[in-house]
Amino acid sequence: MRTILWLAICCLAVTVGTAGDAAAQFAKAEDAIKYRQSVMSVVGTHFTRLGAMVRGEAPFAREAFEENAALVATLLKLPWEAFQVAGSDKGSSLRPEALGKKEDFLKLARANQDEVAKLLAAAKTGDLNAIRPAFGAAGASCKACHDSYRRK
């Protein structure tokens, strides 16, 4: 039992370790740019669907809302290391400052993931009065990073 547990922990460490090594993952800066822009584009699509329901521009459908929120939460696990690849500020909307401020960038990414987790929790209640402020806070935490590290 103990061996199995250790094996599980080791595998997890290896997986996380590999996923965390941006240089090992992306051979070229363009690959990192394409990857993160693709992820963010899909994040944007699903986040916009949430926004339409929150604002009443689309009918509120509890299940669809929860599904879209869950997708955003899952997708937000993916892109952050791709923002750390040297040279990837060129030919993209990433501001060069971001590459020298990895800790701050990742702090904003974590804050965003926390807010989206709260949004997902609110979505599970199906109560728009809980969802609305959670959506606002999540959106503000997207914007906080864009204001600092995304070119206009």
Contact footprint for ligand HEC (CB under 6 A): 33, 36-37, 40-41, 43-44, 47, 72, 92-94, 105, 108-109, 112, 116, 138, 142, 145-146, 149-150
With respect to ligand HEC, which residue has the nearer C-beta, 2 or 103?
Answer: 103
Closest CB 5 distance from ligand HEC, rounded Å:
34
* Residue placing its CB nearer to ligand HEC in the complex, 62 or 113: 113
How wide is the angle at C-alpha 137 spanned by C-alphas 136 and 139, nearest 5°?
65
Other CB atoms within a 10 A radius of the CB of residue 62 amount to 15
- Pick between residue 72 and residue 134 the one whose CB is nearest to ligand HEC: 72
CB of 24 to ligand HEC, least distance (A): 19
Supply the minimum distance, in Å, between the C-beta of residue 152 and ligand HEC. 11
Neighbours of 75 (CB within 10 A): 19
Nearest residue (CB) to ligand HEC, 29 versus 130: 29
Least separation in angstroms between CB 36 and ligand HEC: 5
The C-alpha angle 67, 52, 80, rounded to 5 degrees, equals: 60
Residue 150: C-alpha distances to residues 70, 101, 113 (Å)? 24, 13, 18
Helices of type H across 1-151: 2-19, 22-25, 29-54, 62-75, 97-100, 102-125, 128-149
Shortest Cβ distance from residue 34 to ligand HEC (Å)?
A: 9
Closer of 91 and 126 to ligand HEC (Cβ): 91
Taking the C-alpha atoms of residue 93 and residue 149, their distance in angstroms, rounded to an integer, is: 8
